[in-house]
Amino acid sequence: MKRIIFLFTVLVIPFITLLSQSNKKDSPMIEKSVFGKMKDGKEVYMYTLKNKPGAEAKIITYGATVVSITAPDRNGKYADVTLGYDNLEGYENGTGYLGALVGRYANRIAGAKFTLDGKTYLLSANEGKNQLHGGKTGFSKDLWKAEPIEGKAGPALKLTLVSPDGDQGYPGKVTLQVIYTLTNDNELRIDYKGTTDKTTILNPTHHSYFNLTGVFTNTILNHQVKIDADYYTPIDKESIPTGKIEKVEDTPLDFRKLTTIGSRINDNFEQLKLANGYDFNYVLNNYNGKVREVADVYEPTTGRYLQIFTDQPGLQFYTGNFLSETPVGKNGVAYKFRTGFAMEAEHYPNSPNEPEWPSVVLKPGQTYRQTTIYKFSTK
């Protein structure tokens, strides 16, 4: 018996320990920490998702905000590729929606009002007379409830928010669930699920600013972009869609082939001047409610390559035209003009006031769903 115990101790236990350590090393991980306290004293938590290849995504419960995503360059070196802040104060005071989950309605609603079933709803205006990204205290300023989950594709975080009836002027109590998954294919996958107890409108999106150089003092003007869209929605001087849908062909807004952002951004094109750069909704091709690849971004100095997949009809391409140096960003970097770009998958801006455009109406008994994926690789 002593000999059996000796052999078990010498041979079996070290093997089990080694196997356990190996599995632990290869397993996805989720770590939780305190990120800060809101002005009302509520704690905000940060969850760090780590996948098998070594990528990380840091997400906080304030605004369901993605603080950072790391991605490898062509030499395998990982770097953070998303703009953000080192502390909660930056997110509370910032106006750029860096990394946030925005809603109830992403993008702009003209006059901060819309009519639904014969009733006009007045919303909180936060961009002149219009509403942008859900109003003065939209989803991006709310504290979400978080639950870490282990998915087959990689570590995931489920965040839930209950928006009460009348929130920012919107009808209905809306419950929105968002699951961020950092897959082992280096994708940040975002799955949305929403319900309401009254007929309402719902159109959330994710608002990370990317800079694939991994150096936030660099501009994004040398990034190359491709967007699968033959049409876009022109804007007026307040960046509200005119209601028309026009071709991108023969305009600086044509990104149907990989094109360097800075090559035409200063062209004497009226729409570019109105937006101070690129800030346009693209009418995506092949919209059928299913996930498909809609855009690509390539950064030639690092080889980082970003692909965007979504089931949405529109994609807002924004080149950081109004980034300001305050509040100061991560690692003391003051984000300057055009040092980040956003690719926001969503319905068209001002759709509630454009009945011919894809509907954003959500009724009791229905479920809002969206999937958007940001996939990182190299080439």
**Residues recognised as catalytic:** 207, 344
Rounded to a whole number, what is the largest CA-CA distance in the chain? 89
241 preceded by a cis bond (ω within 30 of 0): no
140 token code pair: 């991006």
Alpha carbons 339 and 217: distance in angstroms, whole number = 7
Residue 370 three-state SS: strand
Residue 90 three-state SS: helix
Alpha carbons 255 and 249: distance in angstroms, whole number = 9
Alpha carbons 166 and 289: distance in angstroms, whole number = 29
Q: Let me know: does 91 contact 36? Beta carbons within 8 Å.
A: no
Alpha carbons 293 and 286: distance in angstroms, whole number = 10
| H or E segment to which residue 203 belongs | none
264 preceded by a cis bond (ω within 30 of 0): no
Q: Let me know: does 338 contact 219? Beta carbons within 8 Å.
A: yes
Pairing state between β 29-37 and 43-50: antiparallel
Alpha carbons 379 and 377: distance in angstroms, whole number = 7
CA distances (Å), 215 to each of 240, 264, 271, in order?
Answer: 33, 23, 29
Alpha carbons 213 and 210: distance in angstroms, whole number = 9
CA distances (Å), 30 to each of 52, 79, 183, 362, in order?
Answer: 12, 19, 13, 33
Residue 324 three-state SS: coil
